[in-house]
């Protein structure tokens, strides 16, 4: 069995072609797949790409969009500044604080 992949310019043309191919005796199966956006074509200036329609304006609050280089650099600078000021937790401190919060939540929710 062989597989043939065809790309069309519109869903209407895909449906038309699929209808024809289903009538061909040697064709065993015809499936129309939904198109998916490609991450490598994400354009933050237009918002087109991953989980964003091309018509949608650039939306910095969209949690699925990748961070820009400028945003990533800013995050690194902020992390370095917090470390220099001592505004960070060690792994042990973070674990202890998290476990304490969970215990408080359990006590509160069991009342």
CA dist 88 and 84 (Å) reads 9
Q: What is the pLDDT, as a whole number, of residue 65?
A: 75
Q: What is the pLDDT, as a whole number, of residue 44?
A: 55
Q: What is the pLDDT of residues 44-92, one digit of tens each?
A: 555 455 554 554 556 667 777 777 888 889 989 998 888 888 888 889 9
Radius of gyration of the chain (CA): 26
Note the Cα 90 to chain centre separation in Å. Answer: 30
pTM above 0.75, yes or no: no
Q: What is the pLDDT, as a whole number, of residue 92?
A: 92
Task: Return the half-sphere exposure (C-beta side, CA atoms, 13 A cut-off) of residue 24.
Answer: 10
**Residue 67's closest CA among 55, 56, 54, 76?**
76
Coil, helix or strand at residue 52: strand
Q: Which of the four pLDDT bands, split at 50, 70 and 90, describes residue 6? A: confident
CB atoms within 10 A of CB 68: 12
Q: What is the pLDDT, as a whole number, of residue 72?
A: 87
* Average pLDDT rounded to a whole number, residues 3-20: 86
**Residue 71's closest CA among 60, 62, 81?**
60
- The residues spanned by each domain of the chain are 1-35, 36-66, 67-111
Q: What is the pLDDT, as a whole number, of residue 1?
A: 79
């Amino acid at each position: 069995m062989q597989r043939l992949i065809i790309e069309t310019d519109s869903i209407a043309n895909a449906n038309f072609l699929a209808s024809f191919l289903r009538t061909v005796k040697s064709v065993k199966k015809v499936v129309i797949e939904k198109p998916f956006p490609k991450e490598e074509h994400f354009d933050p200036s237009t918002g087109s790409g991953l989980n964003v329609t091309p018509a949608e304006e650039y939306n910095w609050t969209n949690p699925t969009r990748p961070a820009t280089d400028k945003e990533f650099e800013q995050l690194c600078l902020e992390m370095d500044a917090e470390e220099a000021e001592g505004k960070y937790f060690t792994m042990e401190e973070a674990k202890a604080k998290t476990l304490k919060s969970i215990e408080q939540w359990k006590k509160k929710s069991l009342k």
